[in-house]
Amino acid sequence: MSVGRHVAGAARRRVQGLWRRTGVRLAAVQMLVVLTAFGTADLMARAEIRSANEATLRHEITGEMASLQDEITRLGASRLPGTVDRRTRLWRGFDYGLDGPDGERLAGRLSPPRGRSGWSQVNQPMASGQVRTFLVLSQRTPQGGWLFVGKDLAGERRAMLLVTWRLLAAGACGAAVCLAGWVLFFRSAWRRLEGMSDAARLVAEGRLNVRAPAPNRRTGDDIDGLSAAFNAMLERIGGLIDQLRRVTTDVAHDLRTPLTRMRQRLEALERARDLNPPHRRAVRAVHGDLMELLRTFDALLQLAEIESRRLADEGIAFDLAEIGLRVAQAFQPDLEASGRRLEVTAESATVVGDPALLTQMLANLVENGLRHTPTGSVVRLGVEARDGCARLTVSDDGPGVPAHMREAVLTPYFRLDQSRGSPGSGLGLSIVAAIAARHEARLSLADNAPGLVVTVSFPEPRLQSSPEAPVVAETGRPKAA
């Protein structure tokens, strides 16, 4: 039953989740200590009670035996079977057995193995069919027969069991007190820690206005201190990012205004009729340089934007395969015209995020495959769904990237060939990495033997509202745009 397995799996995950909490572990250790203490006390008490009981029993049995031996001495052996029968009938809590010199049974029902005088424990089958354990004292009669006096141990066992149960009950009460203590104390601590980790996660996702639950003035414990410090840190980070964003916006505006004028003047110059050819070429070259500058500027701005933006709320669900096919169709003719091949395998895979950004990510990866491979190479683009998670791979059979450089190629402005002459701003893969990070996807570069394979593994598409609302506070600051 897949449903049953699913439920069991969910329960197991829940238990594993609980076990990861420090409070739960502490409570479990405490409970273990309490139970161990009571268990040890139980064992010791039992040993103590047992030895005390046995001494009493032996004392009683010895007394009974002495009284019987005394009767033999006083009245003679011939009266003994009658006495034993009478005493059995009257029931003084003892059981007896009397054998003659030739081993014949004269009276009583106890029949321990003969031939050894002294104490023994005997398992005696009863008439009812059950077996009872007796503590038995065996002694020879003056006639050469055997006399046995014993006492049933069932009563003593019951008493011992009672002691055990009482101690267990006390132990359980102790464990319950531990549990209650944990619920009272740790739950609030654990809630607050949970709130902090939720806040940290959401801030990492770009929701800069989220804060951990405010410190409680009444408790004012170490967790409150941590919470306050944590929030102060978030405040500072938020402030820095705001500042960065404002500076980026201002720089963008202040740079684009003169650049716009520059471009307009260049266009006007290019349209002028009385320009001699060398001048016209120079103007065109300056225009080309300006365009290159703008490209880099745009890529930088975009990188800053992607890194500071939150996608969690604006993401929509869509099929990654559709984007894969669209990008592949867009680049296919170009790759073919350059003597390369593009192979596509796309299966439907749902992703939540920004389709425009993911389109750009795919385009950057395919362009990368086009630019950094020799003629005749094959670029492969694959979209697949594994356990409900989308996975994108773009691979080629070109020269690849050495293992120790794979981290570095994702950083801005890094270039493998180190020559600034080749086209590209050196930001393409950084933008890919930023887009992947914004989608909480894992980006990895590996050896395609030969060539490079870039894999982007997306997380399971999450629903918009998570079932457990995070315990966080949103400040009144405007949302990160």
Partner 1 sequence: MDRVITAAAGAASPGPPLHLLVVEDEVEAARHMASSLAAEGYRVDVVGDGLEALSAASAQTFDVMIVDRLLPGLDGLSLLRALRTRGVGTPTLFLTALGTVADRVAGLEGGADDYLVKPFAFDELHARVKALSRRTADPRQGATRLQCGDLVMDRLAREVRRGDRAVELLPLEYRLLEVLLLNAGQPVTRMMLLEQVWGFHFDPRTNIVETHISRMRAKLENAGGPPLIRTRRGAGYVIGPEAASATA
**Interaction site with partner 1 (CB under 8 A):** 249, 252-253, 256-257, 259-264, 267-268, 294-295, 298, 301-302, 305, 309, 326, 329-331, 333-334, 337, 354-357, 359-360, 363, 367, 370-371, 423-424, 481
**Closer residue to partner 1 in complex, CB, 48/289:** 289
**Closer residue to partner 1 in complex, CB, 370/441:** 370
Shortest reach from residue 260's CB to partner 1, in Å: 4
**Closer residue to partner 1 in complex, CB, 314/468:** 314
Residue with tokens 């099929």: 319
Question: What is the rounded CA–CA span in Å between residue 108 and residue 145?
Answer: 14
Shortest reach from residue 211's CB to partner 1, in Å: 23
**Closer residue to partner 1 in complex, CB, 74/271:** 271
**Closer residue to partner 1 in complex, CB, 119/318:** 318
**Closer residue to partner 1 in complex, CB, 235/307:** 307
**Closer residue to partner 1 in complex, CB, 334/460:** 334
Shortest reach from residue 207's CB to partner 1, in Å: 15
Beta-bridge partner residues of 352: 317
Shortest reach from residue 450's CB to partner 1, in Å: 23
Shortest reach from residue 389's CB to partner 1, in Å: 24
Question: What is the rounded CA–CA span in Å between residue 181 and residue 153?
Answer: 42
Question: What is the rounded CA–CA span in Å between residue 148 and residue 111?
Answer: 8
**Closer residue to partner 1 in complex, CB, 3/356:** 356
Shortest reach from residue 388's CB to partner 1, in Å: 26
Shortest reach from residue 256's CB to partner 1, in Å: 4
Shortest reach from residue 365's CB to partner 1, in Å: 12
Q: Which of 445, 444, 452 has its CA nearest to residue 398? A: 452
**Closer residue to partner 1 in complex, CB, 15/291:** 291
Shortest reach from residue 202's CB to partner 1, in Å: 19
**Closer residue to partner 1 in complex, CB, 27/328:** 328
Shortest reach from residue 323's CB to partner 1, in Å: 9
Shortest reach from residue 27's CB to partner 1, in Å: 47
**Closer residue to partner 1 in complex, CB, 143/338:** 338
**Closer residue to partner 1 in complex, CB, 217/253:** 253
Q: Which of 322, 394, 310 has its CA nearest to residue 351? A: 322
Shortest reach from residue 283's CB to partner 1, in Å: 13
HEC per residue, the chain: CHHHHHHHHHHHHHHHHHHCCHHHHHHHHHHHHHHHHHHHHHHHHHHHHHHHHHHHHHHHHHHHHHHHHHHHHHHCHHHHHHHHHHHHHHCCCCEEEEECCCCCEEEECCCCCCCCCEEEEEEEECCCCCEEEEEEEEEECCCCCEEEEEEECHHHHHHHHHHHHHHHHHHHHHHHHHHHHHHHHHHHHHHHHHHHHHHHHHHHCCCCCEECCCCCCCCCCHHHHHHHHHHHHHHHHHHHHHHHHHHHHHHHHHHHHHHHHHHHHHHHHHHCCCCCHHHHHHHHHHHHHHHHHHHHHHHHHHHHHHHHCCCCCCCEEEEHHHHHHHHHHHHHHHHHHCCCEEEEEECCCEEEECHHHHHHHHHHHHHHHHHCCCCCCEEEEEEEEECCEEEEEEEECCCCCCHHHCCHHHCCCCCCCCCCCCCCCCCHHHHHHHHHHHCCCEEEEEECCCCEEEEEECCCCCCCCCCCCCCCEECCCCCCC
Q: Is the dihedral of CA 353, 392, 362, 419 positive or negative?
A: positive
Question: What is the rounded CA–CA span in Å between residue 90 and residue 128?
Answer: 20
CA triplet 250, 237, 411: central angle to 5 degrees?
Answer: 75
